[in-house]
């Protein structure tokens, strides 16, 4: 396929804020990190809903799903890094959160 043919197939399917992670679960729901709102949003059909919002989610980014349907999310805490806050350590531990499934 040519670049032009690929470009003709691209369509906007939703608009949301900045995101750093996406995941489709086995039921076809799209999980999206909402870094500016410290949240996880879910698109099920045509609309996005906030599944969880917590200031503890500094920069949720990577998603994965286990066999039991649990969704795991890493939080890289980018705004807490020394690049943005010189008082912070050079390396920060990544947090791992779980949203229990089924």
Residue 79 — pLDDT band, cuts 50, 70, 90?
confident
Q: How far is CA 4 from CA 9, 10, 13, in A?
A: 9, 10, 20
DSSP state of 12: -
Residue 102: pLDDT above 70? no
Per CATH, the architecture of 16-99 is what? Beta Barrel (2.40)
For 42-61, give the DSSP string: EESSS-EEEEEE-TT-SSEE
**Single pTM value for the model:** 0.81
Please measure the distance between the N-terminal and C-terminal CA atoms of the chain and give it in whole angstroms.
Answer: 40
**How does pLDDT run across 37-53, given as a tens digit for each residue?**
999 999 988 888 999 99
pLDDT at 81: 86
pLDDT-derived band of residue 4, with 50, 70 and 90 as boundaries? very high
Q: How far apart are CA 39 and CA 75, in angstroms?
A: 11
62: its two tokens: 């990577």
């Amino acid at each position: 396929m040519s670049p032009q043919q690929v470009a003709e197939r691209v369509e906007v399917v939703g608009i949301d804020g900045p995101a750093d992670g996406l995941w489709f679960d086995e039921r076809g729901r799209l999980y999206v990190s909402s870094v500016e709102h410290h949240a996880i949003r879910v698109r099920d059909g045509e609309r996005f809903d906030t599944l969880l919002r917590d200031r503890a989610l500094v920069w949720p980014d990577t998603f994965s799903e286990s066999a039991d349907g649990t969704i795991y999310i890493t939080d890289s805490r980018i705004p807490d890094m020394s690049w943005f806050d010189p008082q912070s350590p050079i390396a920060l531990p990544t947090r791992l959160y779980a949203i229990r499934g089924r």
